[in-house]
Amino acid sequence: MAVPEIRNKHRNNSEMHRVMRQLKKNKLAMIGLVIFAIEIIVAILSPYIIPYKYNAMDMTSVQKGPSLVHLFGTDELGRDIFSRVLYGGQYSLTMGVLATFISTTVGMLIGAVSGYFGGKVDNIMMRILDVIQSLPNMLLSIVISAVLGSGFVNTIIALSVNGLPAAARMLRAQIMKERENEYIEAAVSINCSRSRIILNHLIPNSFSPNIVQATMGVASMISIAASLSFIGLGVQPPIPEWGAMLSAARQFIRQSPHMVIFPGLAIAVTVLALNLLGDGLRDALDPKLKN
């Protein structure tokens, strides 16, 4: 199996280089990638670069508008909104990325097993996913969050369950096509274990659509996480998660609109960047664009 595995690795490397070349040609996708990369770097470095502590209160500067002292203004407790938006990126981005990673990884394993074995295994797994998918995404997240309680970890769990069906079904469809190829028959003929066939051959050659789905899934997860925090079921104050900041600021939207505008812009820019990147990846992975 050494030679086929070397060839398979070489093919995967060539495919990755082709995708990167196509992606670099898409200016909007690169803009989205750069914006998201900057947001991640800023979120990681936020404890060291924010001008004020995110929970530092100044009762002499309550609900002040944007200025040179407070770039995004202050909230109802005199806390610097610029510092809170930067620091809050740690929570919002982490929830979106972690929830997407968990749901995609687990969903891909479910989809791979279901697509490879078929029959009763496929039927049972798909019916379970049907039950999960029968509920609207937001409603399902609300139900899980209400059962588990609010909080950072529980919100990630609620979001992860939400993304399982889409990831599983996407890979299952690809696996059902890929399992008919000759190299799978060759692997079976030399008694290659089923787990090795799934993990070493089927998944690496089938998960490209899941990359695009996961990229756009991060944007969706961030939006849902913000919505959960907005209704009091996600991350709770005083943690400066973007949705929690919107929730706390909604009662002051008329007299201090800046308290809503800047956390809302943070969410909007992040979602836009990820959607641009996802569109670019979809085009780059399109087989019709291969040379």
- Listed in sequence order, the residues at least 6 apart from 185 whose beta carbon sits closer than 8 Å to its beta carbon are none
If you average pLDDT over residues 76-104, what whole number do you get?
A: 92
* Predicted local distance difference test score (pLDDT) of residue 191: 79
Taking alpha carbons only, the member of 125, 198, 205, 203 closest to residue 165 is 125
* Predicted local distance difference test score (pLDDT) of residue 288: 55
* Predicted local distance difference test score (pLDDT) of residue 12: 53
* Predicted local distance difference test score (pLDDT) of residue 31: 92
SS3 91: helix
Expressed as residue numbers, the domain containing 9 is: 2-289
If you average pLDDT over residues 136-146, what whole number do you get?
A: 88
Confidence of residue 2 (pLDDT cuts 50, 70, 90): very low
More confident call, 16 vs 87: 87
3-state helix, strand, coil in the chain (%, to 5): 75, 0, 25
* Predicted local distance difference test score (pLDDT) of residue 8: 52
**CATH number, domain with residue 82:** 1.10.3720.10
Question: What's the domain count of the chain?
Answer: 1
Residue 193 sits at the vertex; the CA angle it makes with 188 and 198, to the nearest 5 degrees, is 85
Q: Which of 33-37, 81-85, 182-186, 246-250 has the weakest average pLDDT?
A: 182-186
Confidence of residue 3 (pLDDT cuts 50, 70, 90): very low
